[in-house]
Structure 1
Amino acid sequence: MSIHQLSVSHDERQDRLLWRLNTLDGQEFQFWLTRRMLTRLWPAMNQSLLKWHASAPGLAASDTISLQMLRDFKRDNLMASADFKTPFASGAKEKPLGQEPLLVTDAHLSMDPQGGMGLLLEQKIGEHCKSCQLNLSVDLVEGLLLLTQQALQSADWALPTTEGVASEAASPAEVTPPTAQSYKH
């Protein structure tokens, strides 16, 4: 699946964030994220990106602050070329997960050494499990995190920002290859 558009919004009534992703072939995937889930997933996604940058070949950054500066620089370049003027296109031809957004109760995160993030989002209710595997490029993850950060400002959930995550990340010398991580609601 090739992601074409991203949208993140806060629904005040539900007090949840809604992630919406449109693909080039006209599919829309929707996910509800609660504060509790995002409290676990948000720092892990940010730290995984820092670790990915630390393991990139030819990297000259030798400490966490330098890594965060490198990541900020790359994110700024990405945002300069991103299209924030085109509204998110609703009304996709197909919604493979159904008309209602998937309420994420479990998330499994993995980093691909080639520059992508695997994100398995699951909704487990009783014996029933519905899931969606996303394979996102680092640029798409950065975009998703930026939009999430903007939505968090209106949610007023007081979650740590990316700056707060940098101080908790391991230094490049301590970094091991990114491994799969799981987060449950």
Structure 2
Amino acid sequence: MDLHQLQVSYQAEEDRLLFRASFKAEDGTLQELRAWITRRLLRVLWPAILQTLETQVRLDKPQAAHASADIVGMDHHASIEHIRDTGNFDTYYETEISHFPLGEAPLLITSVNFAQHADQPVRINFSPADSGGFELSFTLVMLHGFCSLIREAANMAEWDIALEMPGALGATAAGLHLLN
């Protein structure tokens, strides 16, 4: 199954972020995985994602390892522009889900683990306290899009967690203007 859509939304009544990932089955039906991202988990998840992005730069472009933070910022800006240009941020999340492999109730995620290799998608394993969980593969563009969704939902939550991208373009993309 191929990843079809991602959504991260703030659920005020739970004071959590609801993460939804849908997949298209071979017969065209949609399947969905659901997970809660708490404020506590987000404080661990965000730096881990940033570290993963910088590590991926060092794996994919060893000659540019010295500038990995700046490259992550530039890649983030380029990825978000690409996603916007293709209209993917404007596409509504499809809700006609036919199957929930892990159940309709979201899993309460307590830990995440990353696996990465040169020129390969980043794999993130989302695990609840008990057994189970799920693993998703993210291309770098998808991972940057996921970061944008997380940032937007966390801003809605008003958790006062600084979710900044590294590098100069990450700061300007967040609304800061720099003069040279």
Q: TM-score range by the shorter chain?
A: 0.7 to 0.9
Match of 2:40 in 1: 36
2:89 and 2:76 mapped to 1: Cα distance?
Answer: 18
User: Are the equivalent residues in 1 in contact too, given 2:11–2:17 (CA < 8 A)?
Assistant: yes
Match of 1:49 in 2: 53
In structure 2, the CA distance between the partners of 1:63 and 1:105, relative to structure 1 (3 Å rule), is same
Q: Secondary structure at the match of 1:114?
A: coil
Which residue among 84, 89, 100 is the counterpart of 2:94? 89
In structure 2, the CA distance between the partners of 1:72 and 1:144, relative to structure 1 (3 Å rule), is closer
Q: Deviations over 1:21-62 (max 9, x none)?
A: 111221101110100011001111122112212332486574
- Please say which of residues 74-83 and 144-153 is displaced more in the overlay: 74-83
Match of 1:13 in 2: 13
In structure 2, the CA distance between the partners of 1:107 and 1:10, relative to structure 1 (3 Å rule), is same
User: Are the equivalent residues in 2 in contact too, given 1:37–1:105 (CA < 8 A)?
Assistant: yes
User: Are the equivalent residues in 2 in contact too, given 1:52–1:111 (CA < 8 A)?
Assistant: yes
Q: Secondary structure at the match of 2:92?
A: coil
Q: Report matched runs for 1:123-138 at 5 Å.
A: 123-124=128-129, 128-138=130-140
User: Are the equivalent residues in 2 in contact too, given 1:50–1:71 (CA < 8 A)?
Assistant: no
1:137 and 1:59 mapped to 2: Cα distance?
Answer: 21
Which residue among 149, 152, 159 is the counterpart of 2:151? 149
Q: Deviations over 1:69-126 (max 9, x none)?
A: 43234323432324122210113111001010111012111213223111111112xx
Q: Secondary structure at the match of 1:105?
A: strand
Could you list the runs of 5+ residues in structure 2 that have no partner in the other structure?
169-180
RMSD: 2.2
Q: Deviations over 1:144-183 (max 9, x none)?
A: 11111111110111222233x559xxxxxxxxxxxxxxxx
Match of 2:107 in 1: 102
Q: Select the structure with the greater relative contact order (CA < 8 A; seq sep ≥ 6).
A: 1
2:112 and 2:65 mapped to 1: Cα distance?
Answer: 30
TM-score in terms of structure 1 length: 0.78
Q: Secondary structure at the match of 2:148?
A: helix
Match of 1:159 in 2: 161
1:104 and 1:95 mapped to 2: Cα distance?
Answer: 17
- Structure with the higher fraction of residues in helix conformation: 2
Match of 1:76 in 2: 80
Could you list the runs of 5+ residues in structure 1 that have no partner in the other structure?
168-185
Pairwise CA distance, 1:3? 0.8
- Please say which of residues 17-26 and 132-141 is displaced more in the overlay: 132-141
Identity fraction in percent: 25
For these two proteins, the number of residue pairs brought into alignment is 163
2:35 and 2:59 mapped to 1: Cα distance?
Answer: 30
In structure 2, the CA distance between the partners of 1:131 and 1:65, relative to structure 1 (3 Å rule), is closer
